[in-house]
Amino acid sequence: MNFSIRLVSYVVLVILIFLTVIASGTTPRRGVNPHWHSASATWYGSPNGDGSDGGACGYGTMVDVKPFRARVGAVSSALFKKGEGCGACYKVKCLDKTICSKRAVTIIVTDESPALTKGLVHFDLSGSAFGRMAVSGRNTNLRNRGKISIIYRKTPCKYPGQNIAFHVNVGSTAYWLSLLVEFEDGDGDIGSMQIKEARSNQWLTMTHLWGANWCIIGGPLQGPFSIKLTTLTKKRTLSARDVIPSKWTPKATYTSRLNFLK
pTM of the model: 0.81
Mean pLDDT within 220-249: 96
Task: Tell me where in the chain the CATH 2.60.40.760 domain(s) lie.
Answer: 165-255
CATH architecture of the region 37-155: Beta Barrel (2.40)
Task: Tell me where in the chain the CATH 2.40.40.10 domain(s) lie.
Answer: 37-155
165-255 has which CATH code?
A: 2.60.40.760
Residue 142 has pLDDT above 60, yes or no: yes
Contact 75, 123 (CB under 8 A): yes
Confidence (pLDDT) at 132? 92
Residue 61 has pLDDT above 60, yes or no: yes
Give the residues across from 229 on adjacent strands. 193, 238
Confidence (pLDDT) at 67? 72
Residue 32 has pLDDT above 50, yes or no: no
pLDDT confidence of 33, banded at 50, 70, 90?
low
